[in-house]
Amino acid sequence: MREKRGVGDEAMRFLSHRMRTEQEMRQHLSEREYDESEIEGAIRDLKTHHYIDDYEYALAFYRNSYEKLRGGMRAKRELEQKGVDAVVAENALEDYRYEAGIDEVANARRLAIYSVYGSEYINGCDSDFIDVIAKFKDIEGAEYLEERKLASIARKLEARGYASSVICRIVSEVRGWKV
């Protein structure tokens, strides 16, 4: 029978794959049947050496979410499900949006363009080009988008975690596009 690792060794092994929240670490060590006092000591040491930091985890999570064109509401909800305190998640979201210059409306517009025109208009394009594409209102011989497509775009934006105000703004913009 294999000998049980020390709590510190097990914690470092668990962290070797990716960043973890404090709750994820507690749950993992608890499932491995370590004593509560051992878990508390390991968590304290990990925090002291900055191996686990829910704020830094949240910043990295937001960065990844925005790269995937997800909205902040969804990312925040997922962080809270992972055990990140709501205040920490909100502070990290505000800080990340400010530092990275995130514009959720522009991200939502990008997703809408992808939904309407396809990836050839999005991949490798900068935001100026995307703004030009967004003004495709006068394509000769084209038809306006159907309400079903508008509803589909709204549902997609909602599923990605965009605020209802952003969704309404994008749907009203998209309503004037032609395909």
Residues 108 and 170 in one domain: yes
Most confident of 84-88, 143-147, 152-156: 84-88
Predicted confidence at residue 116, as pLDDT, reads: 79
- As beta bridge partners, residue 178 has 144
Q: With CA atoms as reference, report the closest residue to 147 among 163, 164, 171.
A: 171
77-83 contact pairs (CB < 8 A, 24+): 77/161, 79/21, 82/21, 82/23, 82/24, 83/21, 83/22, 83/23, 83/24, 83/54
Give the chain's domain count. 3
> Would you say 34 and 7 are in contact if contact means Cβ atoms under 8 Å apart?
yes
* pLDDT 10s digits, 49-102: 999 999 999 999 999 999 998 999 999 999 999 999 999 999 999 999 999 999
Give the model's confidence band at 126: pLDDT under 50 very low, under 70 low, under 90 confident, else very high.
low
Predicted confidence at residue 149, as pLDDT, reads: 85
Residues 112 and 152 in one domain: yes
Q: Is the pLDDT of residue 1 over 50?
A: no
Domain membership flag for residue 158: yes
Which amino acid belongs to residue 10?
E
Residues 57 and 47 in one domain: no
Predicted TM-score of the model (pTM): 0.80
Residues 8 and 34 in one domain: yes
- As beta bridge partners, residue 144 has 178
